[in-house]
Amino acid sequence: MLVVLAVLPALPGMRALLFPLTLTNIMATLAIAWNLLFGYAGLLSLGHSFFFGAAGYASAILSKSYGIPVPVAMVIGAAVSSGIAALVGLPSLKLRGHYFVLVTLVLPAVAYQLTNALDVLGGHDGIFGVPPLVRDSYAIYLGSLFLMLASLVASALVIRSGLGMEMISVREDEEAAKALGVDTPRVKLYALMISAFLSGLAGAYWAPLNG
């Protein structure tokens, strides 16, 4: 199956599929990140587009304005998203029920206002002239496929780790997990940060395609 995914778009007459398949891989990476948080930690986020966009903007600014190589800027951008997630998570993860959901819902709205207000973020039009990762569309597609598969593997490793077991216990019954000695605030914070990092990688990969 992987061979088919890698080779099929390179065949004659199939090049038109490269861009939509690249976007599919990027959105699949974002979905994997979101599922790690909600599907296994039980934390519903309606604002993962914020982490996606934050990494994209950070990566674009670093590569365009400071000349940092695009792959390095992408990783830094994802780390920025993870750091923001920590700042958001420290107070908001103490909230129970629907309150955390409402906090995540507000994040994209705040980000929209900031991007319009700050010139460094390009206003409503965004940032143009972002250096490309590579110039070959097939190589970009293969990179997005690798990103999606790497995110899937990373997610599986987290789920099978001790942290993953703790995440599932929090999802199933947070009070029972706490009674068994699970540090539930730490588990939820780590889950949010890892999910934001993977979302950020997707956003950082997306940025050069639209700049």
pLDDT tens per residue, range 19-31: 999 999 999 999 9
Q: Which residues contact 50 (CB under 8 A, 6 or more apart)?
A: 84, 104, 107, 108, 110, 111
Q: Do the beta carbons of residue 8 and residue 2 sit within 8 Å?
A: no
Give the span between the Cα atoms of 103 and 191, in whole angstroms: 16
Q: Please write the tens of the pLDDT for every residue from 178-209.
A: 999 999 999 999 999 999 999 999 999 999 99
Give the span between the Cα atoms of 182 and 46, in whole angstroms: 26
Closest CA to 143 of 87, 96, 74: 74
- What pLDDT, on the 0 to 100 scale, is given for residue 96? 66
Task: Give how far Cα 88 sits from Cα of 60, 62, 85, 100, 105, Å.
Answer: 22, 23, 5, 10, 12
User: Please, what is the Cα angle at 141 between 138 and 143, to 5 degrees?
Assistant: 110
Q: Buried b vs exposed e over 167-198: b needs ≥16 C-beta within 10 Å?
A: bbbbbeebeebeeeebebeebbbbbbbbbbbb
Give the predicted TM-score (pTM) of the model.
0.93
**Residue 118, Cα to own-chain centre: how many angstroms?**
23
Count of H helices and E strands in the chain? 10, 0
The radius of gyration of the chain's CA atoms, rounded to the nearest angstrom, is 18
Give the span between the Cα atoms of 42 and 60, in whole angstroms: 32
Q: Please write the tens of the pLDDT for every residue from 19-64.
A: 999 999 999 999 999 999 999 999 999 999 999 999 999 999 999 9
The pLDDT of residue 80 is above 90: yes
Structure tokens at 160: 């099978």
Q: Please write the tens of the pLDDT for every residue from 96-111.
A: 668 889 999 999 999 8
If you search the block for the tokens 């979905």, which residue do you land on? 31
Side chain identity at 52, as an amino acid letter?
A: F
Dihedral angle sign, alpha carbons of residues 119, 124, 127, 129? negative
The pLDDT of residue 10 is above 80: no
